[in-house]
Chains A and B, each alone.
Chain A
């Protein structure tokens, strides 16, 4: 048998009943409780699950890069036929140099900030025994391979001088230096823009075909996993609970946890008006807790006594699928949240916020950067406006101008209930200040850690509603009930609360003074999907009860679509499209919106004809002529789009667009009905 044949016979990675524990103050706390799976050569395998389920620990254990307090307590790890746990440190080094590679979240952090890119890439070759000169030539080839055209220029730069997408390509280039048999990707696109994410994912798929490397992908975003992976393993509390081909697991889940996870997601155009999102009752077990025989038993609607006492065996309800559940035959009976009648009169109140010609110019050295250009918008009472666009599109700048965190340029009109607001919060009347509130992405840093929840909310009530004492107590009980916090949470400090509870406190704070407008800036990005669903439901309920208007910013288009009544699409500070959520998402839409939607990987699978945006976001200092999007627009009309900038016109009632292409033509091009 030749060497290459042995190689193809052996799994790229095999974990067998792997147990890992972390020592916390001398006590070992189990994190992995018997993980078993196998990745065949050339196969892409995805691990999914909520934070703390052990996905990353699995990957780091596999390459023996656990933190100092983590150790494998039992089980085995085999990579390309090598028993990883038996390797000496020099053998381990050789294996890392030549057969396995890793790419992780935040490429900016994965590259050494003080060393030029060229030197760092070359290192991956010199470690394989190439001379410095050979390594240089190889580095150029490596960058060409990840579709970086001007490799020489990139090699001569420092990491911070490259964009996030470019950095991640460099990291991938380094990872592929050794033609690895196993490539581990740990949240490789988290934190990147949707369009950049799509590019990186396409690159990974292409390179996988070219190199034949097996891939272990860890991602909390199920859409990403579906786009890349052949097979998927769903993890919960340190165990794999279900495994199978990615498309089948996502389309037809067989484990109650997988069913719950998928139903939490706002998908298939779900909107708050039609239904509440499903949630998974209870919360994730803490690290090291004693768990019943079935780890999911406590949160499972199908659980019986059997689940408490007997470890569920591997069952194979369908060929090629493995499910660890006693009741997999009954998953069909799990009840889904019912559709609800649309709420009458929602979002048709009077205009609360009126924006006209809102611009914001920043000075950067000697340049003027126009971060917002003449934005016109209306927001009605009880309505949600979703802001969509890549980073640098002006979403946050617009939100900050509305909040008065920075002043819009002179000439901008920002009216609350028909009254012009001062540019900065400090110049606004107390009433106006109270009327506009914000919910941040990270409740951790938004809450004062040294105060109890009660003290935090008392302050909000005093500052925003002007009440204290007995009145405040009454209002506090009502408020905590509204955001579903229990009274015992009031005496806790933020650090004792989970992420979801902290966000509830932040939401309660924002609603303390009965706000007219609440800006939700990535309100659920830091949360797990089951928690996200609960928060989205809460935001929906509060809006209905309080008739507050929302401005929602999120990179997760599912979230935006779920909450929004109308959508504004921004590109380089310009409003490109504005219309009802249904219309903007279903089309015909602006070519930019089309590309943006097409970039987002869907857990329901991607349409065959995806639109790929090429090129990077142009610099706001050196804007393209004509339509600012024409440099990347797949539908640009030569001679027209680079010559003049199209105005924002109402193409059909309530739907405005900034595009030279007539709506009917877009309708035909995009096969929209």
Chain B
């Protein structure tokens, strides 16, 4: 188990390092030098050079990268080119906001989707099953910006049941916050429910048809016991990895929903940073999403290894 963990974490670290390189490389293929970008086309060349020197952007790329890594290692994410605010602060606030949104979406989606998937599988071919499959397929095939726009137009604009803006400057208590987040969360639930529910359904169907399930039934065990003890554990293994991947994905995919509901989250902040070539914010933000992704999949893998001895103990 320990070996498995160490190996898995080492792999995560290597992946993150690769990610920093990719993000760094990508942000540097954008045309124009940083100083010129910030100061605009009419600034005198001397000021541009001076700014580049101060920012370190006149150095060769590999040196810049090493410098950046050095600072990251010390916990210093630098400051925004645009607002001169500390990146830690900018990213921190927006990340927390996004986390709220993602967390709410997950605690609704995961249990609901698994329950629905398992139930549909056990009642395979029933009306519930067919409705579940169709609805979840439709929900997950629509991109979230379509769903979100639709919800916004119908429930916030036409019916005016919910606010159109998810962010407020003066938070008036948790109930109001929840109220404001209801529509964006719902938009996310619609998209992610489908993947997870269909995965859970497929897993349960496979496990119900497995030989070991037949063995359990032929032992004379009651149906409930067979399902709880023999079916679910095996059936939900693939669902766990889907949930883990989706969690990471959810963080990266919040951007559309945040933009549509004008929510002050990490996604929206990254779009802003990318448009204005605010490299420190952009790379720190992308890296953070990478870290979330890593942690989510790591937790998923650990959970799977607890449930599946073969992963935990390896082939001996």
Contact = CB atoms under 8 A, between A and B. Distances in A.
Contact of B214 (A65, A98, A114, A178): A65
A578 interface: no
| Band of interface residues on A | 20 to 34
Contacts of A97: 219-221
A192 interface: no
Q: Which among A97, A101, A109, A112 has the greatest number of chain B C-beta atoms within 10 A?
A: A112
Contact of A102 (B212, B218, B233): B218
A137 interface: no
B134 interface: no
Nearest to A178: B220
B241 to A, nearest CB: 15
A160 B229 CA distance: 18
Contacts of B124: 68
The main secondary structure of chain A at its interface with chain B is mixed
Interface string A91-135: 001111110111010100111111110000001100100000000
Contact of A158 (B212, B217, B222, B309): B309
Interface in B218-238: 218-222, 229-230, 233-234
B137 interface: no
A63 B218 contact: yes
A127 B219 contact: yes
Nearest to A158: B309
Contacts of A95: 220
Nearest to A89: B223
Interface string B146-185: 0000000000000000000000000000000000000000
A160 B310 contact: yes
Contacts of B212: 109-113
A161 interface: yes
Contacts of A114: 233-234, 307-309
A96 B221 CA distance: 9
Nearest to A69: B125
A294 interface: no
Nearest to B307: A114
B45 interface: no
Nearest to A177: B219
Secondary structure at the B interface, as helix, strand, loop or mixed, is helix
A641 interface: no
Given A65-B214, A111-B215, A98 B234 contact: no
B216 interface: yes
Given A65-B217, A65-B218, A112-B216, A106 B308 contact: no
Nearest to A171: B215
A174 interface: yes
Contacts of B216: 112, 123
Nearest to A67: B209
A94 B220 contact: yes
Contacts of A158: 309-310, 313
Interface string A49-72: 000000000000001010010000
A495 to B, nearest CB: 21
Contacts of B229: 115, 123
A158 B233 CA distance: 15
Nearest to B211: A109
Interface string A153-187: 00000101100000000010010011000000000
B316 interface: yes
B210 interface: yes
Interface in B291-316: 307-310, 313, 315-316
Contacts of B210: 109
Nearest to A157: B309
Q: Among B309, B310, B316, which residue has the most Cβ atoms of chain A within 10 A?
A: B309
Contact of B211 (A63, A104, A124, A177): A104
Interface in B263-316: 307-310, 313, 315-316
B312 to A, nearest CB: 9
B234 A112 contact: yes
Contacts of B217: 65, 96
A366 to B, nearest CB: 13
A177 B221 CA distance: 14
Contact of A161 (B211, B215, B307, B316): B316
A337 B95 CA distance: 82
Nearest to B233: A114
A116 B217 CA distance: 18
Contacts of A124: 219
A127 B220 CA distance: 7
Given A158-B309, A158-B313, A106 B211 contact: yes
A116 to B, nearest CB: 8
B215 A110 contact: yes
A104 B211 CA distance: 8
A192 to B, nearest CB: 15
Nearest to B315: A160
Given A112-B216, A114-B234, A158-B313, A127 B221 contact: yes
A114 B210 CA distance: 13
Residue of B220, B221, B230, B310 most packed against chain A (CB within 10 A): B220
Given A65-B218, A110-B212, A115-B230, 18 more contacts: A68-B124, A94-B220, A96-B218, A96-B219, A100-B218, A101-B218, A102-B214, A104-B214, A109-B211, A109-B212, A112-B216, A113-B234, A114-B307, A115-B229, A158-B313, A161-B316, A171-B215, A178-B220
8 closest Cβ pairs, A-B complex = A97-B220, A109-B211, A96-B220, A112-B212, A158-B309, A110-B211, A102-B218, A93-B220
10 contacts: A96-B218, A112-B230, A113-B212, A114-B307, A123-B216, A123-B219, A123-B221, A123-B229, A124-B219, A127-B220
